Amino acid sequence: MEVVGDRETNWKGYLNVDSFEDYCDEKLGISLKTGYSLISDYSKLLSEKPEYKSNKKLIPPPETKVRILGNKKLKALKKDSPDKCKEIKEMIFNPNYSRRETEAKLEEFHDNLIHDEKVIEEDIIEYDPLKEKVRQYWKGKEDAILGTIRENNQSKFSGLLNGLYDLGQKENSTRVESTEIKRIVITNTAKDSAYAEGVINRARKLNRKVEISHTGTGNNDTDILAFPSQLQGQENYWYMKETLYVRERKSSFIETFPSPGDIVENLNTALKLGFHCRSTCQYCYQQTSRGGTQEVFSNIKNVTDELKYERIVQTATLTVWSMISHLQKKIYVKIPRNLSETSNKFREKVVKSEISNDDSMMELLSKGSEGILSDCNVDFTKIELKKLLPNIPKFYKKNKKVPLWLWVSEYSDILAIEPIAKQMEFILSELLLKFPEVNFMVATKSVDECFLEHDGQDRIMLNMNLSPEEVINKYEPGTSPLDKRLDLVKRLQNKGGYILRLSFEPMIYFEGWEEAYKSLVETVSKSIDLASIPAIVLGSIRLRSGLKNRIIRNYPWTDLFADESVLVKATKEDKRGRYTEEIRIAQYQLMIDELKKHTKAEIILGAEYPEMWDWVGLDKEKFMSDKVYQYEQ
Ligand code: SF4
């Protein structure tokens, strides 16, 4: 190339081709791009070791290895860690090291370099509201603006907008289906907390370009959580998915939570450690929740103050359930109406008055029984109540045997942001040890190694959610692939110390669903020890009021509702749109039949109404029998 130069006549004269491109193509059989990179790599080789030019006996390293000399990471290393850079260069020229080994070493050195706090500190990328405003302003406005520009200027303007848009895409613009945390917003209430500092450090280690911003305080000492005002509709949703707020939680972390509708469900106590998650499941019910921000709480340690009393709160709540069941002479397959509110009132009272012994609680129940039952809208006569009161200690004792399980994934998949938020780590390393009577249930579609580093003491229930690969790819972007989810279950089965449940929900209806779910069960049975799984949950898609519209707004390309005939609208009692009963029965029945080929696990329906259990041959009374002491006929 040096000798030939770039004149066409020279190429013709020396090499009988018209150009370097033709030379690559006709004489070497390589593309022009490869030709140029060979030249570039050759010059890198010579600049590093000029002796290769004169000493014909020296055999240079393969070109793919020489290419490492131009790697940006090596350049960064040269600047910040010359010794390490030298080591990599020696590996490049040492035939005993392969390209892979050399690249792996470079990665390792580079990771250490960018994870060095000092280096990061110097390179803080702060959230710039002006930049964000400009970025959001241009989004989606191209067409409207182009319509107002003279034709001969349109292509120039279009180019400018494309340039700006590309710039925005490369940085932290709101991008559809992004599942990365790109911004951490520290609210005023969390600004001095060690937890917020930990979140920032961990987020930066994962993405050194993560933006950090701080917000002020609004009226009544509330945090300002507002998104940029120019965001519209679905942009807010995608902005939320990329933004993690750290704030102080003002209300209780624990809540008794009844799912809506007339369904089968045992007492559900949620430990609220956060809201939303970075994954983007199209069907996620959180899209309609009141809290529009993805958040974690800086005062997470305060959970310990509440946990001290939760066993008493649960026993008291179940005792009231028993009282209602006996007064009404009826078995309830879901928490009786209004009891959840009463339970939340108990919690407040118990924590405030620091009631920590059973006798005081029983006394409170006996003395306040009339008011408590009236609050729950229970019909009873004074005579009936008088007869019931002596049974309270018995009810209490029976219910005290019901294990306390706290549900930590009602409002968020906490494992999805575990590397940043470390909430599960807190449960495993602190709560589990401090509160031997408390057990924790986690449902997830994400994989994290934290469980492998701790002993779950058989007090952590991991509910691994499974779907066919095509469902994961299409409807659950950002979650872990199926093989990774199964691999974690397998590793935990080998490790022991965890209660491992599987959950297939929501089952999605699409063409070919039968084969997809059959093959899923087959894959599961080959990947893990299915026979030793104690319980499996099956559930269908559930559309609470407004969710369908939200899904269509946030995921306009969704085909979840392509066939309207498979869906039925929410009824007053059920409060959820669902697939038709025929489809749900077919889905559950198929799964039950397939699963029974491999396991005797208890099969449970998630948020289904009682008749559905009967139709598919599942025993709801058996399921409820050890969840609360109830009236026996
Ligand atoms: S993983 Fe759970 S919380 Fe997160 S988006 Fe999916 S359904 Fe919602």
Residue 556 has pLDDT above 80, yes or no: yes
- CB of residue 414 inside a 6 A radius of ligand 1: no
Q: How far is the CA of 477 from the centre of ligand 1 (A)?
A: 10
Residue 146 has pLDDT above 90, yes or no: no
Query: What pLDDT does residue 324 have?
Result: 97
pLDDT in tens, 462-487: 999 999 999 999 999 999 999 999 99
Residue nearest to atom 1 of ligand 1 (CA): 413
Query: What pLDDT does residue 109 have?
Result: 84
| Side-chain-side CA neighbours of residue 369 (13 Å) | 26
Q: How far is the CA of 506 from the centre of ligand 1 (A)?
A: 11
Percent of the chain's residues with pLDDT above 90: 64
Same domain, yes or no: 88 and 131: no
Q: Is 269 helix (H, G, I), strand (E, B) or coil?
A: strand
Query: What pLDDT does residue 122 have?
Result: 39
Domain membership of residue 9 (yes or no) is no
State the average pLDDT over residues 347-356.
90
Same domain, yes or no: 518 and 538: yes
Distance CA 439, CA 407 (A): 9
Query: What pLDDT does residue 78 have?
Result: 85
Same domain, yes or no: 102 and 137: no
Claim: this prediction has a pTM higher than 0.85: no
Same domain, yes or no: 429 and 565: yes
pLDDT band per the 50, 70, 90 thresholds, residue 33: low
State the average pLDDT over residues 219-244.
87
Same domain, yes or no: 60 and 207: no
pLDDT band per the 50, 70, 90 thresholds, residue 574: confident
Query: What pLDDT does residue 256 have?
Result: 95
Please state, rounded to an integer, the average pLDDT across all residues of the chain: 88
Q: Where are the alpha helices (DSSP H) in 126-193?
A: 129-138, 142-146, 151-170
Contact status, residue 303 vs residue 272, Cβ threshold 8 Å: no
Query: What pLDDT does residue 19 have?
Result: 73
Q: Is the dihedral of CA 297, 302, 304, 310 positive or negative?
A: negative
Residue 545 has pLDDT above 60, yes or no: yes
Listed in order, strand segments (DSSP E) in 457-542 are 460-465, 499-507, 535-540
Residue 103 has pLDDT above 90, yes or no: no
Candidate from 273, 296, 445 with most ligand 1 atoms within 8 A of CB, to mutate: 445
Listed in order, strand segments (DSSP E) in 265-313 are 269-271, 274-275, 294-297
Domain membership of residue 349 (yes or no) is no
Domain membership of residue 525 (yes or no) is yes
Query: What pLDDT does residue 38 have?
Result: 79
Same domain, yes or no: 103 and 236: no
State the average pLDDT over residues 278-297.
93
Domain membership of residue 471 (yes or no) is yes
Domain membership of residue 282 (yes or no) is no
Tokens 């706090």 label which residue? Answer: 117
Residue 60 has pLDDT above 50, yes or no: yes
State the average pLDDT over residues 35-49.
81
Contact status, residue 259 vs residue 209, Cβ threshold 8 Å: no
- CB of residue 294 inside a 6 A radius of ligand 1: no
- Nearest ligand 1 atom, CA 276: 3
Domain membership of residue 339 (yes or no) is no
Residue 2 has pLDDT above 70, yes or no: no
pLDDT band per the 50, 70, 90 thresholds, residue 5: low
Residue 175 has pLDDT above 60, yes or no: no
Weakest-pLDDT range from 149-158, 240-249, 321-330, 511-520: 149-158
Which one of 75, 91, 114 terminates a domain?
114
**Pick from 489, 622, 467, 470: which is nearest to 540 by CA?**
467
Same domain, yes or no: 90 and 130: no
Which one of 68, 95, 114 terminates a domain?
114
Residue nearest to atom 8 of ligand 1 (CA): 284
pLDDT band per the 50, 70, 90 thresholds, residue 172: very low
State the average pLDDT over residues 608-617.
96
Query: What pLDDT does residue 218 have?
Result: 76
Residue 243's DSSP bridge partners are: 183
Structure tokens belonging to residue 531: 């026979």
- CB of residue 350 inside a 6 A radius of ligand 1: no
Candidate from 241, 272, 413, 472 with most ligand 1 atoms within 8 A of CB, to mutate: 413
Same domain, yes or no: 159 and 71: no
Same domain, yes or no: 52 and 142: no
Weakest-pLDDT range from 83-97, 332-346, 505-519: 83-97
Residue 204 has pLDDT above 50, yes or no: yes
Weakest-pLDDT range from 28-32, 136-140, 442-446, 573-577: 136-140
Q: How far is the CA of 312 from the centre of ligand 1 (A)?
A: 31
Domain membership of residue 581 (yes or no) is yes
pLDDT band per the 50, 70, 90 thresholds, residue 138: low
Backbone angles phi, psi at 314, to 5 degrees: -65, -45
pLDDT band per the 50, 70, 90 thresholds, residue 571: confident
Same domain, yes or no: 102 and 131: no
- CB of residue 277 inside a 6 A radius of ligand 1: yes
Domain membership of residue 481 (yes or no) is yes
Structure tokens belonging to residue 627: 């969840």
- What Rg, from alpha-carbon coordinates, does the chain have? 31
Q: Which residue has the higher pLDDT, 152 or 247?
A: 247
pLDDT band per the 50, 70, 90 thresholds, residue 620: very high
The alpha carbon torsion through 517, 523, 524, 528 (nearest 10 deg) reads: 180
Same domain, yes or no: 416 and 518: yes
Residue 24 has pLDDT above 80, yes or no: no
State the average pLDDT over residues 539-546.
94
Q: Is the dihedral of CA 292, 293, 294, 297 positive or negative?
A: negative
Same domain, yes or no: 195 and 144: yes
Q: How far is the CA of 295 from the centre of ligand 1 (A)?
A: 14
- Nearest ligand 1 atom, CA 412: 3
Domain of residue 41: give its range. 31-114
Residue 413 has pLDDT above 70, yes or no: yes
Number of compact structural domains in the chain: 3
pLDDT in tens, 366-391: 999 999 999 999 999 999 999 999 99
Q: Which residue has the higher pLDDT, 441 or 166?
A: 441
- CB of residue 279 inside a 6 A radius of ligand 1: yes
CATH number at residue 514: 3.80.30.30
Distance CA 496, CA 490 (A): 10
- CB of residue 412 inside a 6 A radius of ligand 1: yes
State the average pLDDT over residues 567-582.
91
Query: What pLDDT does residue 273 have?
Result: 97
Which one of 114, 145, 168 terminates a domain?
114
Longest dimension (CA), the chain: 116
Residue 144 has pLDDT above 80, yes or no: no
Residue 137 has pLDDT above 90, yes or no: no
Q: Where are the alpha helices (DSSP H) in 171-302?
A: 194-206, 234-242
